[in-house]
Structure 1
Amino acid sequence: MTVFIRNALTRLYLFSGGCAAFSLFSLLFLVIVQMSSRWFELDFPGLSNYAGYCLGSASFFGLGYALNHGSHIRVTLIVSHSGEFRKFIEVTAVGVSMVIAGWFAVHAVINNINSFELGELSQGQDVTPIWIPQLAMSLGAIVFFISLLDLFLCLLLSRAIFSTALTTDNKEF
């Protein structure tokens, strides 16, 4: 059962990273189209808004994947000198981060539902229902919360770290 859950979480993180990569490639494509349209004096209104949506999507979808692969910036000044309190500090820091990410994910989903129910449209020329780009933020925030919960449980239960999220010298818990 544990192996099944671990494989499912790994696939979730990879899918989230794939969505982030797709968003970045879409952003690149939109920037190229926007540059080309200026050269040929064509007008595609709202392209900059869609580029912004892709950037937000890439940012939020990348959070869980980056945490799982150890790409988040960590300040280890306190942790490296904490000695026997190292595990306590790690668990506390990840726990606080998890609570904040969970709070953000809940409110992102609530905001997304409200935007859908009210039929809100973007302010730009693209007139996109705003719940569509907000959906990427909500899903990315949920995946990030899940990855922090995963890390928290691994640290709390003194199991091997799920990936390289914590540096290799932290595997001695």
Structure 2
Amino acid sequence: MLRRGLDFLYAASAGLAALSLLGIFLMMMAQVALREMGRQLPGADDLTAYLCVATTFFALAHTFRRGELIRVGMAIEKLNPRMRLFQEGVALALAAVVVGTITWYTLQDVIFSYEIEDLAQGTVPFLLWIPKLAMPIGSAILLIAIIDEAFAVARGAMPNYVVEAADRAARGDFSAEV
């Protein structure tokens, strides 16, 4: 049941990223259409920038779990299975510390923006804490995914991102490889 809940969380976060990307597309199309009519869409540039950030942060956990984030494995891939699991655990622990720090500081920024009623300086004065929420939420979901993988490694299983990348390679799909 926990596994299904976590997988749903990662999929929901990816869905929010997709909706943000759709929002960018719709905003750009609206800008094009309005320009043809000699009009402008106030705040479109700011909103598009906020949606870009939301797209990025909401996609992180799902992308991580699928093994599609940039990863350098030249040294770790040459290790024996036991040592490789140990090194995966070390990498996941370091990632958890870094992403936990990012989550903490982005949340502090949201709280500060809320407290001072920070407004965007563009043509439409958006309350900045609202679009900034995507950063701590997205990074917190990534942190959960990293901890999820760390528990799998602690149980002796290969991380999902390694399994997914190996499955893609076995099918001859190297689209995520650089």
Identical aligned pairs, as a percentage?
A: 27
Query: TM-score, normalised to structure 1's length?
Result: 0.89
TM normalised by structure 2 equals 0.87
Please say if 1:115 is aligned against 2:113: yes
Q: What is the aligned length?
A: 164
Indicate which of 138, 141, 147 corresponds to 1:140.
Answer: 138
Q: Which residue of 2 aligns with 1:105?
A: 103
Query: Is the aligned partner of 1:26 residue 2:23?
Result: yes
Per-residue CA deviation, residues 27-76 of structure 1 (Å, 9 max, x unaligned), is 00001111222121102121011001111000000001111222212211
Higher mean C-alpha displacement, 9-18 vs 83-92: 83-92
Q: Distance in 2 between matches of 1:101 and 1:70?
A: 17
Match of 1:80 in 2: 77
Q: Deviations over 1:89-124 (max 9, x none)?
A: 111111101110011101111111111011000121
Q: CA deviation at 1:82?
A: 2.2
Structure 2 distance, partners of 1:11, 1:52, is 27
Give distance in 2, aligned partners of 1:37 and 1:128: 21
Q: Distance in 1 between matches of 2:40 and 2:100?
A: 41
Which residue of the partner structure matches residue 45 of structure 1?
Answer: 42
Compute the displacement of 1:160 (Å). Answer: 5.5
Give the aligned CA root-mean-square deviation in angstroms.
1.4
Structure 2: unaligned runs, 5 residues or longer: 168-178
Structure 1: which 5+ runs fail to align? Answer: none
Looking at structure 2, the residues matched to 155 and 145 of structure 1 have their Cα atoms a distance apart, in angstroms, of: 15
CA distance in 2, matches of 1:102, 1:156: 19
Give the letter for the 2:15 counterpart.
G
